Each structure stands twice: as C-alpha cells, then as structure tokens.
Amino acid sequence: MRIVDLRSDTVTKPTLKMRQAMKDAEVGDDGFSDDPTTNRLETMAADCAGKEAALFVPSGTMGNLIAIMVHTKPGEGLICDRFAHINTMVAGNTAALTGTTISPLDVDESGNFDLVELESHINLDNIHFPRTSLIVLENSNNLAGGTVVTPEETSEIFRIAKKHHLRLHLDGARVFNSAIAQGVDLIELTRDCDSVMFCLSKGLASPVGSIIAGTEAFIKEARRIRKMLGGVMRQTGILAACGIISLEEMVDRLAEDHDNARYLANALEGIDGFSIKLKTVQTNIICFKFELPQLSCKEFVDNVAKKGIYLVHLFKNIGRMVTHKDLSKSDIDYALKVFKDTVSKVE
C-alpha cells in the first residue's frame, strides 16, 4: 500500500549522507565533553543562533524542560500561549518537574500575544500569585498552524520581559522554518531571547536530537540539569554528525516543504468537509477543521489511515498535516485523491 505520512516532520528519515556520516563519526564520551563531533555541532549551533554556547540534548521536550529549570525556581510563574507545546504536549512535565505555574494566554490567529494582556499577567509583587520569571515564545507556533513570529514581535516581547526583569526563552523547535519563511537570518529571531531550543530531528531530518543555546553561564547550568535528567548520552558524535549535516544542508530546502503545504492547503479548501485558514499556512504545518454530518474529524482521520494516508487528529474537529522532505508533490496529489474519494463515498 502506498503510504503518505503527513503526521509530522518528525517522521523524516536521515539522508544517505547522514548514514554515512554516522558510520565515519569521530566519537568520545560526551559525559566528559570528550566527543569531538558533538563539540563541533555545539559550536556550529551556537554560531547559528548567535549565542555564546550550545548543548546537544536528546529531544526538544528535554531542551525546553532544561531551559525552564535553569530560568525559574519552583513556585515561580511562566507565561506562554495556552496551546504552546510546553503546556499541552509534554505529558505535564512542566508542572511535574519544574514546579512552576503556567499562566496560559490566548494568542491571535497568527499566533501572537496581545502585548497589553501579556504585560498585565506579569506578577512581581502580589503575594497571592506566583512571581513571574519567564516568558516562553513558540516560533513557529505549532498549534496555531505553523505561524511565524516576526523579529519585530520578538523584540516587543523582549522589551516587556526586560522591563520586568524576566527571561525570555524561545521554543524554536521549527525556528528554521520560521526564518526561511520570513526570509530572515535565524539570529533575527533569536537575538532577543535569553535562550533558544531548536530541533534537528524535525524538518532538518536528523534521526535524534535538539539544541539549546544561550550564554556560557546558562549552558553550564543546563549541562548540570541535563545530567540530572539522565540526558547524557556518551558517544553522541554518531548523532551529532547528522546534526551537522542538518545545519549545513537541510535548512534552505525547507522552502520546498512550505510550498507543498500551501499547495496542499489550497487544494483542501475545495474538498467537502474541510475548512482551512489559509493565512495561517505560513510554513510546513496545516491545522484544519473537518466536519461532515456523517463523518467526524476523528472518523475521517481513521478512515484515510486505513488507505495509507496518515494525519493527526488533535481534538474535536481539528486535525493537523505537516509537509516534509520525504513527501513529494505526487504524494500530496495522491493524498488529495484519497481524501476526495473518502468524502465522496459518505452517504
């Protein structure tokens, strides 16, 4: 059966060059900072993000967790989008492991905070509320539909954070998608952030791994917390070798995924049951509503999965599709054909 996997860009397989690089990688024990390939990746990643230092971590989830643990103390508060990954998709780790309270805020259709509301949720003095110490920004914003936060919006949030002596962390799991979609250098999106996490294992096609970057002092503490969480992985050069290829060769091609997402979104608009906010399709993610009287979103997703087209049902009538390097235009045309057939067979 022909499979078209639109569940996530995390399904991308490493390239042949990555597999070769894994075989040839020079390795050492990263627990002693002895792995030359990992050290090289960390230096490259820090340069890309315009930060003093960087650390290779097993996942984006652990990277964000470490950043929150460095920036906050238990009992403090952090502000993020209500649907931010750290609030919705981490099995509750922020609450369970950091001891912080999240103040979740609504964002607009483009994934942006209302800055007046953001500032009004900062608490420094009222003893009844957690003291706010951190703002977490997600760029691109996954559940807003892969929308991008601009350098100007980031600067505005930074201005508010600094006015109140808060830290700003960027969950940039897909920040390269955001930079490519906006035609800006990554540093434009990271400059104002005290720390940044980005994933190598999503659209950049590495099999495993993410990066956190910040000041030398931030990374020194992050290294200690990574150890505490069991995130020291020893001969990580085998994985870091792929990360180097991700940064060197896989960034510019993300534009192709964005073109495919727009192509797919435009075509979905013409299929019964789908409603898409086209203006939110800015990168490689399409959040869609699907509803027909005789077919719920979940039923539709289950139905097309049986025909080899994999999507994610998020909640209620909302689902998600993500384009990536292992999908061609022809795969997308095939998926569209299956969607049309499925909808046309509903009584």
**Do 209 and 18 contact (CB within 8 A), yes or no?**
no
Which of 64/100 has CB closer to ligand PLP?
64
Tell me the closest approach of the beta carbon of residue 140 to ligand PLP, in angstroms: 8
**Residue of this chain nearest to ligand PLP (CB atom):** 60
**Do 313 and 298 contact (CB within 8 A), yes or no?**
yes
**Do 45 and 212 contact (CB within 8 A), yes or no?**
no
Q: Which range touches ligand PLP (CB under 6 A), out of 39-47, 57-65, 296-304, 334-342?
A: 57-65
Q: Which range touches ligand PLP (CB under 6 A), out of 55-63, 225-233, 238-246, 297-305?
A: 55-63
Which of 138/188 has CB closer to ligand PLP?
138
The residues with which 134 forms a beta bridge, in sequence order, are 78, 167
The whole-angstrom separation of Cα 283 and Cα 210 is 20
138 near ligand PLP, rule: CB under 6 A? yes
Find all residues with CB under 8 Å of 47, minimum gap 6, and list them: none
Binding residues for ligand PLP, rule CB under 6 A, total 13
210 near ligand PLP, rule: CB under 6 A? yes
In the region spanning residues 277 to 316, those forming contacts with ligand PLP, defined by CB under 6 A, are none
Q: Which range touches ligand PLP (CB under 6 A), out of 31-39, 44-52, 53-61, 296-304?
A: 53-61
6 near ligand PLP, rule: CB under 6 A? no
Residue of 102, 48, 55, 58 lying closest to 77 (CA atoms):
102
142 near ligand PLP, rule: CB under 6 A? yes
What the block records as the tokens of 216 is 């030398």
Q: Which range touches ligand PLP (CB under 6 A), out of 42-50, 60-68, 241-249, 305-313?
A: 60-68
Contact with ligand PLP (CB under 6 A): which of 201, 206, 246, 283? Answer: 201
The whole-angstrom separation of Cα 98 and Cα 124 is 19
The whole-angstrom separation of Cα 273 and Cα 294 is 10
Judge residue 2's burial from the number of C-beta atoms within 10 Å of its C-beta, 0-12 exposed, 13-18 middle, 19 or more buried: exposed
What the block records as the tokens of 19 is 């597999």
147 near ligand PLP, rule: CB under 6 A? no
**Do 255 and 247 contact (CB within 8 A), yes or no?**
no
The whole-angstrom separation of Cα 101 and Cα 104 is 9
The residue type of 307 is K
Tell me the closest approach of the beta carbon of residue 344 to ligand PLP, in angstroms: 33
The phi and psi torsions of 13 (rounded to 5 degrees) equal -95, 150
**Binding pattern to ligand PLP, positions 81-120, x when CB under 6 A?**
----x-----------------------------------
Q: Which range touches ligand PLP (CB under 6 A), out of 13-21, 54-62, 146-154, 286-294?
A: 54-62
Tell me the closest approach of the beta carbon of residue 138 to ligand PLP, in angstroms: 5
Residues engaged in binding ligand PLP (CB under 6 A):
10, 59-61, 64, 85, 138, 142, 171, 173, 199, 201, 210
